């Protein structure tokens, strides 16, 4: 399988009043064609920054220090603003987290979908409208909804419209940033089902960013585990869930409440998420790691390849 | 949000240590504070630093342009303009400050009560405040002053009426949003009295916003007071030195070319207003949650 | 469209109490003057029978609630009373003055609004840049300018030193165009009177620049603040993610959305405009409502003062109502 997206040594920092936040530090991984890749981690681990960086939609105080994002061989970080704009929505698109605030309240939802066509030189407005209505219907919305305003739709319906705008031009990569976090469990399941069907029908790769392991378990093929701005483990979803290698991944999976008859206590990971302005030296997880040794506080762990799994941990060094 | 702050000014703004300004906003704030301090000091120290008695007739020749002896020239009655400028800010500052304080107290209290208790009280007070708010401020001040008679107290009252709705609206809006926050519910659950919640919990959190409006209010009040004086309804009469009065005189004599009579009072009025405005605007950029940039 | 009509009706119903409150306030304020208004007009030593006549004429001999009732009734019929000074119907005098103030405010807005919208949006979009600071500096200096001072500077430079523009009045009395609307610019265009047009424009330049620039400072501030808030919204980045160009993101998405709070503030802006116009009219001897008010206060023509303030109240209430209705048309959240 060929990677559609290759991320290499990505470093993204934010300038803030309190100092420089090292949000993404030397992040590398691949996204393969047609796969659903989960990116999972706690709040503040950099996963949202990752999505915005790929789209080059970072806020003004963010700076991409170094790295490459190769999309079909082309480094996105070297493109001009106009070249990047042409890719957005047509080849790479994004589904945003909060459906309540991600729509222009003055614009009909149908016009939101039409915008994607309008800005990518699709001049036949009639045809565009036809396609838009069809996509909305496929998302389960009646054709009359085309003329509604966002406030007339529920959260779940809006999220479907969001997906509709993201897939309108059949992009190769769809970045879904916490697409179900703001929704109830039932709607969540529906949206996830839609995403999976999309991948099957169109063949887009989906980067699914979330903090919810359950969502990953349901539809992701592979997963990237992130902690404090770094990648700690990459691998196949089934394998990682059954045999997590990195201590953080182990902690994450152990922390999920289980509905077993014996009950038992919640097992959170001790300690708290580090300050990204002054991250811990060496391995960023070492202050909370039950297996930490001296080298963990001194040197950053290398990438260790284990049967298709990638772990960034001193424990697995040969 | 630290919801049990001590009542110190610096603490309210979250300033924990003194340090030189880091960003542009802080420079503007500093500039504003310095301007206000200089002008206020000048007004307070007037008896000491004024070279001449500002009402002294013929301290110099009549209507003479700026010269080494009279750096800002003299007016029709030979009074030294520099001395008049040094003395001239007193009433302006006093009236504006008093009006702003009066508006702040009445408006904020009304806003607190209205926002916190809601219901009929809120509706009645609101429609009252909205009516005043919609009305042109200067016109209202002119009318009230004209009817009450232009004394210091009446001008203060007239001007404060204008700004009460401004404080009211802002405080009420903030109270409405804070009212829903968890720490207020927690306080209620702990059995806190309404008075305690309003003054110990909600008020400290909106104090920075009130400070912003307070600064801008003083700035606007100075302009309103000068406007009243220009129209002839001010609290001071000649020969009292007052920037507003001197500006009016200067305007009348402008056609004869005596530019210095109007230039200096005008500059000083503008600088004073600018000082307070800079303070208000920079505080707004720094502390208004809607404008702040986080991460 | 049922929601829209319901909204409009409810706004009209809310405006009525507002007008009543304002009119009552005017009534109260104009009677709180310590001392007897009749004494103030005629002087203490006037003969008693003259005082009684005036008291009767002003209706001051009737009980207060009857006075109030008649006052409201007369206003509704359009009877603003007669001026004690000129003996003319006050409404007639106000009509002329109103046209003058209207012309001044329209031209000032023509200057202030473009500066406000373009300056404000540019500063918001390029926040923290040199342009942002420059625009903000301009805005803050503009609104802190004392109108009589700024106007005088312009009068001095252009009227006295350079002698290219007139410093007072609205037009040379010989050039007054035929009366159609009372707006000299409009009337001279409609009657093809070029001389009047030029003269009226020449008189209009300095006062409108004065008021316009001072207002623009306030407008830039408001537009900038609302645009910054709008640009932070999630749907802005979502639009970019759909491939919308930066230009269209700013104008179609951010600006349109920030115009809504801007329109709701327009009522307040208009009040500021009227207040500023009063000072501008005094500085430039412009025969508008503000100057009328000041003049009549000086001459103790209390019925005229009352009439002017009542008119201000009615204008303000009407403008707010119109603003509310326009807002309803623009914001779909109100309609549906």
CA distance B4 to C12: 44
Asked if omega into B239 is within 30° of 0 (cis), the reply is yes
- Distance set, CA B268 to CA A196, A208, B231, C144 (Å): 70, 61, 19, 11
Helical (H) or strand (E) element with A3: strand A3-16
CA C177 to chain centroid: 24
Smallest Cα–Cα separation from C241: which of A70, A207, A162, A137?
Answer: A162
Q: How far apart are the CA of A18 and the nearest CA of chain B, in angstroms?
A: 9
Are the beta carbons of C242 and A55 separated by less than 8 Å? no
CA distance C127 to C129: 5
Cross-strand partners of A10: A27
For residues A49-70, average pLDDT: 92
Assess A170–C contact: CB distance below 8 Å, yes or no.
Answer: no
Predicted local confidence at residue B157, as pLDDT: 94
Using an 8 Å Cβ cutoff, are C151 and C166 in contact? no
Per-residue pLDDT of chain C (336 residues; tens, 9 = 90+): 567 788 888 888 888 888 888 888 888 777 766 556 666 667 667 777 877 777 777 777 777 777 788 788 888 887 788 887 788 888 888 988 999 999 999 999 999 999 999 999 899 888 888 899 999 999 999 999 999 999 999 999 998 888 888 888 888 888 888 888 888 888 888 888 888 888 889 999 999 999 999 999 989 998 898 888 888 889 999 999 999 999 899 888 988 888 888 887 787 888 899 999 999 999 999 999 999 999 998 888 888 888 899 899 889 888 888 888 888 888 888 766
Domain around A269 = 3-81+209-316
Q: Is the ipTM of this complex over 0.90?
A: no
The first and second tokens of residue A275, run together, are 């300050």
Q: How far apart are the CA of C110 and the nearest CA of chain B, in angstroms?
A: 20
For residues B62-89, average pLDDT: 86
Smallest Cα–Cα separation from B206: which of B163, B164, B175, B169?
Answer: B175
Assess C295–B contact: CB distance below 8 Å, yes or no.
Answer: no
Chain B residues near residue A16 by CB distance under 8 angstroms: 294-295
Are the beta carbons of C225 and B291 separated by less than 8 Å? yes
Percent of chain A with pLDDT strictly greater than 70: 97
Using an 8 Å Cβ cutoff, are A167 and A198 in contact? yes
| Residue A67 phi, psi (nearest 5) | 120, 175
Q: How far apart are the CA of A247 and the nearest CA of chain B, in angstroms?
A: 28
CATH code of C95-335, in short, is: 1.10.3720.10
Q: How far apart are the CA of A162 and the nearest CA of chain B, in angstroms?
A: 26
How do residues A107-118 score in pLDDT, each as one tens digit? 999 999 999 999
CA distance C278 to C291: 6
In a domain, A258, yes or no: yes
Predicted local confidence at residue B6, as pLDDT: 43
Query: H-type helices in C232-301, by residue range?
Result: 234-241, 246-248, 256-264, 266-283, 289-298
Provide CB contacts within 8 A for A245, sequence distance 6+. Answer: A233, A306, A309, A311, A313, A316
Considering the entire predicted model, what is its pTM?
0.83
In a domain, A49, yes or no: yes
CA distance A271 to A290: 11
Smallest Cα–Cα separation from A301: which of A287, A318, A315, A280?
Answer: A315
Q: CB-CB: which of B22, B23, B295 is closest to A14?
A: B295
Assess B173–C contact: CB distance below 8 Å, yes or no.
Answer: no
CA distance A165 to B6: 51
CA distance C230 to C132: 16
Place of tokens 């329109």: C263
Q: How far apart are the CA of C192 and the nearest CA of chain B, in angstroms?
A: 34
CA distance C71 to C79: 9
Cross-strand partners of B153: none
Assess B13–C contact: CB distance below 8 Å, yes or no.
Answer: no
Using an 8 Å Cβ cutoff, are A174 and A204 in contact? yes
CA C196 to chain centroid: 25
Region class of B293: left (phi > 0), else alpha (psi between -120 and 50), else beta: beta
Helical (H) or strand (E) element with A68: strand A62-71
Cross-strand partners of A71: A5, A74
Using an 8 Å Cβ cutoff, are C164 and C158 in contact? yes
Using an 8 Å Cβ cutoff, are B241 and B55 in contact? yes
DSSP state letters, C82-137: B-TTT-SBHHHHHHHHHHHHHHHHHHHHHHHHHHHHHHHHHHHHTTTSHHHHHHHH
**CATH code of the domain containing A40:** 3.40.50.300
Using an 8 Å Cβ cutoff, are B226 and B244 in contact? yes
Provide CB contacts within 8 A for A83, sequence distance 6+. Answer: none
Predicted local confidence at residue C36, as pLDDT: 63
Name the residue in chain B with its Cα closest to that of A19. Answer: B295
Q: Is the pLDDT of residue B109 over 70?
A: yes
Predicted local confidence at residue C185, as pLDDT: 86
CA distance C291 to C280: 9
Cross-strand partners of A210: A40
How do residues B122-178 score in pLDDT, each as one tens digit? 998 998 898 888 889 999 999 889 888 888 999 999 999 999 999 999 999 888 888
Assess C157–B contact: CB distance below 8 Å, yes or no.
Answer: no
Helical (H) or strand (E) element with A5: strand A3-16
Burial (CB count within 10 angstroms: exposed 0-12, middle 13-18, buried 19+), residue A132: buried
CA distance B221 to B209: 18
Are the beta carbons of A61 and B294 separated by less than 8 Å? no
Tell me the pLDDT of chain C averaged across its residues: 86
Place B63 in a pLDDT band, splitting at 50, 70 and 90.
confident
The first and second tokens of residue A278, run together, are 């002054």
Q: How far apart are the CA of C334 and the nearest CA of chain B, in angstroms?
A: 20
For an interface test with C, which of A51, A80, A105 has the most C Cβ atoms less than 10 Å from its Cβ? A105
Using an 8 Å Cβ cutoff, are C317 and B134 in contact? yes
Helical (H) or strand (E) element with C218: helix C194-231
- CATH class, domain B25-294, is mainly alpha
Helical (H) or strand (E) element with A26: strand A19-32
For an interface test with B, which of C105, C128, C261, C275 has the most B Cβ atoms less than 10 Å from its Cβ? C275
CA distance B284 to A46: 31
How many structural domains compose chain A?
1
For an interface test with B, which of C31, C131, C146 has the most B Cβ atoms less than 10 Å from its Cβ? C146
Query: H-type helices in B72-151, by residue range?
Result: 81-88, 90-117, 119-134, 137-148
Q: Is B10 helix (H, G, I), strand (E, B) or coil?
A: helix
Q: Which of residues 36-95 of B touch C (CB under 8 A)?
A: none
Report the alpha-carbon angle B37-B56-B74, nearest 5. 75
Q: How far apart are the first and last CA of chain B?
A: 16
CA distance A126 to A133: 11
Assess B127–C contact: CB distance below 8 Å, yes or no.
Answer: yes
Name the residue in chain A with its Cα closest to that of C333. Answer: A151
CA distance A230 to A23: 8
CA A315 to chain centroid: 28
Provide CB contacts within 8 A for B112, sequence distance 6+. Answer: B171, B172, B175, B198, B202, B203
Provide CB contacts within 8 A for A282, sequence distance 6+. Answer: A295, A296, A297, A298, A299, A300, A301
Using an 8 Å Cβ cutoff, are C257 and C156 in contact? no
Chain B residues with CB within 8 Å of chain A CB: 22-23, 293-295
Helical (H) or strand (E) element with A32: strand A19-32
């Amino acid at each position: 399988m060929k990677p559609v997206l290759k991320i290499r040594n990505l470093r993204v920092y934010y300038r803030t009043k309190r100092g420089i936040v090292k949000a993404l530090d030397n992040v590398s991984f691949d996204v393969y064609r047609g796969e659903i890749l989960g990116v999972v981690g706690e709040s503040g681990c950099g996963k949202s920054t990752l999505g915005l960086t790929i789209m080059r939609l970072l806020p003004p105080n963010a700076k991409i220090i170094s790295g490459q994002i190769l999309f079909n061989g082309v480094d996105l970080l070297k493109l001009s603003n106009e070249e990047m704009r042409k890719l957005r929505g047509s080849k790479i698109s994004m589904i945003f987290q909060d459906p309540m605030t991600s729509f222009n309240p003055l614009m009909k939802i149908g016009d939101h979908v039409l915008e994607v066509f309008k800005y990518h030189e699709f001049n036949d407005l009639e045809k565009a409208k036809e396609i838009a209505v069809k996509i909305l219907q496929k998302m389960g919305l009646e054709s009359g909804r085309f003329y509604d305003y966002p406030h007339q739709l529920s959260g779940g319906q809006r999220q479907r419209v969001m997906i509709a705008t993201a897939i309108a031009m059949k992009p190769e990569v769809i970045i879904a940033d916490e697409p179900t976090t703001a929704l109830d469990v039932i709607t969540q399941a529906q949206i996830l089902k839609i995403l999976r069907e999309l991948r099957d029908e169109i063949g887009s790769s989906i980067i699914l960013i979330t903090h919810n392991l359950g969502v990953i378990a349901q539809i992701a093929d592979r997963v990237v585990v992130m902690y404090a701005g770094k990648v700690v483990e990459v691998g196949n979803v089934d394998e990682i869930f059954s045999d997590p290698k990195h201590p953080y991944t182990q902690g994450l999976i152990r922390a999920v409440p289980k509905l077993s008859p014996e009950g038992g206590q919640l097992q959170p990971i001790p300690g708290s998420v580090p300050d990204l302005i002054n991250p811990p030296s060496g391995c960023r997880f070492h202050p909370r790691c039950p297996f930490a040794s001296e080298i963990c506080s001194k040197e950053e762990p290398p990438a260790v390849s284990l049967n298709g799994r990638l772990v960034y941990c001193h424990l697995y060094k040969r | 949000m630290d919801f049990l702050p001590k009542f110190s000014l610096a603490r309210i703004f979250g300033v924990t240590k003194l340090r030189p300004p880091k960003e542009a906003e802080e420079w503007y704030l500093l500039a504003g504070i310095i301007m206000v301090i200089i002008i206020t000091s000048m007004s307070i120290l007037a008896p000491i630093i004024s070279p001449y008695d500002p009402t002294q007739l013929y301290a110099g020749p009549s209507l003479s342009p700026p010269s080494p002896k009279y750096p800002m020239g003299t007016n029709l009655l030979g009074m030294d303009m520099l001395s008049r400028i040094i003395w001239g800010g007193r009433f302006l500052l006093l009236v504006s400050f008093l009006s702003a304080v009066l508006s702040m107290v009445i408006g904020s209290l009304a806003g607190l009560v209205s926002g916190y208790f809601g219901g009929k009280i809120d509706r009645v007070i609101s429609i009252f405040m909205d009516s005043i708010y919609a009305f042109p401020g200067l016109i209202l001040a002119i009318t009230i002053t004209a009817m009450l008679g232009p004394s210091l107290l009446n001008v203060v009252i007239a001007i404060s009426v204008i700004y009460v709705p401004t404080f009211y609206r802002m405080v009420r809006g903030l109270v409405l949003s804070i009212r829903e926050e968890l720490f207020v519910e927690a306080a209620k659950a702990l059995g806190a009295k309404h008075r305690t919640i309003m003054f110990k919990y909600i008020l400290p959190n909106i104090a920075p916003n009130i400070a912003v409006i307070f600064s801008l209010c003083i700035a606007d009040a100075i302009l309103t007071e000068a406007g009243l004086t220009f129209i002839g309804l001010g609290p001071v009469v000649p020969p009292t030195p007052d920037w507003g009065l001197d500006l009016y005189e200067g305007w009348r004599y402008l056609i004869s070319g005596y530019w210095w009579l109007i230039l200096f009072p005008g500059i000083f009025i503008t600088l004073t207003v600018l000082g307070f405005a800079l303070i208000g605007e920079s505080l707004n950029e720094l502390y208004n949650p809607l404008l702040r940039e986080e991460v | 469209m049922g929601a829209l009509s319901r909204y409009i009706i409810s706004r009209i119903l809310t405006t009525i109490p507002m007008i009543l409150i304002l009119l009552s306030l005017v009534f109260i304020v104009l009677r709180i003057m310590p001392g007897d208004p009749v004494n103030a007009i005629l002087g203490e030593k006037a003969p008693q029978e003259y005082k009684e006549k005036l008291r009767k004429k002003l209706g001051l001999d009737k009980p207060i609630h009857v006075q109030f009732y008649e006052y409201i009734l007369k206003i509704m019929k359009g009877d603003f009373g007669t001026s004690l000074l000129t003996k003319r119907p006050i409404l007639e005098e106000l009509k002329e003055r109103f046209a003058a103030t209207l012309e001044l405010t329209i031209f000032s807005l023509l200057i202030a609004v473009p500066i406000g919208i373009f300056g404000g949006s540019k500063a918001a979009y390029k926040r923290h840049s040199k342009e942002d600071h420059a625009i903000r500096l301009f805005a803050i200096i503009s609104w802190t300018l004392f109108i009589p001072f700024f106007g005088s500077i312009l009068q001095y430079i252009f009227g006295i030193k350079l002698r290219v523009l007139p410093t007072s009045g609205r037009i040379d009395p010989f050039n007054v165009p035929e009366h159609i609307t009372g707006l000299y610019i409009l009337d001279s265009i409609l009657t093809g009177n070029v001389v009047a047009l030029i003269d009226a424009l020449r008189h209009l330049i300095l006062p409108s620049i004065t008021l316009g620039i001072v207002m623009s400072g306030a407008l830039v501030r408001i537009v900038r603040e609302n645009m910054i808030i709008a640009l932070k919204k999630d749907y802005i980045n979502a639009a970019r993610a759909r491939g919308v160009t930066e230009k269209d993101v700013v104008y179609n998405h951010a600006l349109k959305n920030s115009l809504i709070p801007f329109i709701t503030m327009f009522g307040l802006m208009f009040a500021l405009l009227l207040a500023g116009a009063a000072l501008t009219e005094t500085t430039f001897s412009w025969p508008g409502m503000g100057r009328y008010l000041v003049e009549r206060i000086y001459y103790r023509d209390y019925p005229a003062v009352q009439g002017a303030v009542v008119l201000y109240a009615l204008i303000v209430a009407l403008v707010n109502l119109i603003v509310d209705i326009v807002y309803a048309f623009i914001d779909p959240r109100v309609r549906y």
